């Protein structure tokens, strides 16, 4: 795959009639406004031609890569252990990423709307995480149901069962909200990938990477669907994005965007596709994989693999 004082002589204006003075004043004021209007029009024309008003500036690959480093899924070197972050560390990382996205959103480029939407999604995630979520009411309702069943108390059993349903619906609502936020984040990644495709360097004629796919199944030790990518271009690639689409046996598809700041020759990087909900980023029973690499130095042809 490939932006002074002096003597009190009377001036001509003082010796002229009031009507003449008024006429001159009107001419001066009119000429002044006309000059301002002309200068302003010329200035606006220059700004419009230079693209500084209205139309956002087109992004280049470096700008896309800077935002991709914030939004996209990371490509991780083979053998990298799964990150284990405490809740305070995770919240601090979320806040830092939000600040970076806000800074990108303030720039007048075609990337600004993407960064703004990503910021909004992260704020929604912060609000969700700030809420108090406890499983205790669910456990308590379950115990009441169990006791009512043991004691053959239909009233207690029904009350407990109702409590379980109520608490489960709360957890279901939280899960739905988390899924909606995740969908917004993935949409930002895909919009970024569209812009990256326009800024991509010409397609390389030689191979860029070899691809190996591992699907998580009950009988293997792979926790998530994973695409193993080995750089076989013979060169060090920088600001590399990988655009991936997976298709399942039923026709279900999932697309995503991954990023690595550097990719050394012969190095294997992993595109990890989360297989658990909420935040699932793959499909069941993958039958087809489409993938393209876009780096600062080169981009590959789109590879289409069937399994």
CATH of the domain at 297: 2.60.40.10
- Among the residue ranges 6-10, 21-25, 105-109, 253-257, the one predicted with the least confidence is 6-10
124-136: pLDDT as tens digits: 988 887 876 666 6
- Number of domains comprising the chain: 2
CB 178 within 8 A of CB 128: yes
Question: Which one of 10, 30, 47 terminates a domain?
Answer: 47
| 165 domain-assigned | no
Residue 257 falls within a domain, yes or no? yes
**What is residue 223's predicted lDDT score, i.e. its pLDDT?**
86
In a domain, 208, yes or no: yes
Identify the domain containing residue 40 by its residue range.
Answer: 19-47
Q: Does residue 262 lie in a domain region?
A: yes
Residue 31, both tokens: 């000429």
In a domain, 143, yes or no: no
pLDDT at 290: 97
Q: How does residue 264 score in pLDDT terms, banded at 50, 70 and 90?
A: very high
User: 42-88 pLDDT, tens per residue?
Assistant: 333 333 333 444 677 888 999 999 999 999 999 999 888 776 777 78
> Is residue 40 one of the residues assigned to a domain?
yes
Residue 186 inside a domain? The answer is no
Contacts 24+ apart (CB under 8 A), 130-139: 131/174, 133/174, 137/163, 137/167, 138/164, 138/167, 138/168, 138/171
Question: How many C-beta atoms surround the C-beta of residue 199 within 10 A?
Answer: 17
In a domain, 194, yes or no: no
pLDDT tens sequence across 193-246: 999 999 999 999 899 999 999 999 867 678 899 999 999 999 999 999 999 999
């Amino acid at each position: 795959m490939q932006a002074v004082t002096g003597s009190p002589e009377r001036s001509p204006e003082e010796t002229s009639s009031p009507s003449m003075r008024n006429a001159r004043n009107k001419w001066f004021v009119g000429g002044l406004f006309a000059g301002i209007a002309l200068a302003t029009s010329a200035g606006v024309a220059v700004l419009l031609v230079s693209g500084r008003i209205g139309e956002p500036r087109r992004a280049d690959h470096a700008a896309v890569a800077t935002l991709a480093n914030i939004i996209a899924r990371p490509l991780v070197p083979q053998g990298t252990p799964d990150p284990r972050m405490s809740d305070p560390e995770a919240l601090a990382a979320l806040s830092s990423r939000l600040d970076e996205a806000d800074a990108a959103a303030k720039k007048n480029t075609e990337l600004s709307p993407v960064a703004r939407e990503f910021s909004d999604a992260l704020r929604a995630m912060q609000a969700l995480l700030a809420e108090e979520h406890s499983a205790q009411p669910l456990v308590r309702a379950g115990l009441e149901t169990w006791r009512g069943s043991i004691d053959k108390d239909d009233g207690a059993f029904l009350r407990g069962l109702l409590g379980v349903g109520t608490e489960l619906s709360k957890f279901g609502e939280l899960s739905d909200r988390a899924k909606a936020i995740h969908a917004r984040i993935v949409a930002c990644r895909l919009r970024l990938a569209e812009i990256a495709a326009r800024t991509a360097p010409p397609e390389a004629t030689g191979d860029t990477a070899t691809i190996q796919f591992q699907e998580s199944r009950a009988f293997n030790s792979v926790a998530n669907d994973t695409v193993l990518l080995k750089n076989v271009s013979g060169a060090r690639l920088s600001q590399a994005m990988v655009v991936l689409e997976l298709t399942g046996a039923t026709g279900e598809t999932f697309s995503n965007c991954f990023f690595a700041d550097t990719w050394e020759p012969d190095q294997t990087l992993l595109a990890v596709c989360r297989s658990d909900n909420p935040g699932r980023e793959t499909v069941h029973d993958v039958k087809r994989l489409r993938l393209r690499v876009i780096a600062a130095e080169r981009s590959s042809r789109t590879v289409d693999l069937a399994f």
